[in-house]
């Protein structure tokens, strides 16, 4: 449903996001990554909250996007099978803890970013991508009924173009949504150039992959 032209053309703005994601002159890269990552976290969390009452342990028994089922890995690296709402809660709780940690996301003058900061941002973006993918795959109908699909599309475009600009997501990770990315980011108003989208999600939906 989310690939139907009448829905993919819905945006809340036609701004060229390709221009918006570029690192401004004289702005520190880590500061730019921190600011945008925190903003995306809040926006994706808000977008999910609009459909959270429909995402339950009964309706979404696994954290699924297309033909892929995601597992959570706890602090000890143990693989945890959980429902979609549990997975999203794990994501949002852990990211909230990170972005409010002065040692990880410093906000005070003179504080240095940790050497592992870029890897941390990549990890956060991976989890946020999973949440966006689940909203599209499992709850686009509800999003459409709430007339919030324009907000979702706009958020997705901005997020994907930002992660592409700074190589924050592995193309193999995002291939599952390449069909949507191709339509949204390469159409008028999307601001993309088409790189990295090859329709990988449409070719392998006969079996379930676990990650």
Q: Is 151 annotated as a binding residue?
A: no
Q: Is 158 annotated as a binding residue?
A: no
Spatial separation of the C-alpha atoms in residues 94 and 191, rounded to whole Å: 31
Residue 130 burial (10 A CB sphere; 0-12, 13-18, 19+): buried
Torsion angle (degrees, nearest 10) of CA 158, 163, 166, 172? -150
Spatial separation of the C-alpha atoms in residues 204 and 31, rounded to whole Å: 38
Q: Is 125 annotated as a binding residue?
A: no
Q: Is 134 annotated as a binding residue?
A: yes
Spatial separation of the C-alpha atoms in residues 79 and 69, rounded to whole Å: 12
Q: From the annotation, which residues make up the binding site for Zn(2+)?
A: 55, 60, 134, 139
Q: From the annotation, which residues make up the binding site?
A: 55, 60, 134, 139
């Amino acid at each position: 449903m989310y690939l139907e032209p009448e829905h993919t053309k819905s945006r809340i703005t036609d701004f060229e996001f390709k221009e918006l994601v570029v690192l401004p002159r004289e702005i520190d890269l880590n500061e730019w990554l921190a600011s945008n990552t925190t903003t995306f976290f809040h926006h994706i969390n808000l977008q999910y909250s609009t459909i959270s009452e429909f995402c339950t342990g009964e309706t979404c028994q696994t954290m699924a996007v297309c033909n892929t089922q995601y597992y959570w890995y706890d602090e000890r690296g143990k693989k945890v099978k959980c429902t979609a709402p549990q997975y999203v809660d794990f994501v949002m709780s852990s990211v909230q803890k990170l972005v409010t940690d002065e040692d990880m996301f410093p906000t005070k003058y003179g504080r240095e970013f940790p050497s592992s900061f870029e890897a941390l941002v990549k990890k956060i973006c991976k989890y946020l991508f999973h949440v966006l993918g689940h909203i599209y795959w499992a709850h686009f109908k509800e999003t459409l009924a709430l007339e919030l699909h324009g907000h979702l599309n706009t958020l997705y475009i901005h997020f994907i173009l930002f992660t592409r600009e700074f190589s924050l997501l592995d193309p193999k990770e995002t291939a599952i949504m390449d069909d949507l990315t191709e339509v949204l980011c390469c159409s008028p108003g999307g601001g993309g150039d088409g790189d990295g989208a090859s329709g990988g999600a449409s070719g392998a939906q006969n079996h379930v992959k676990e990650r």
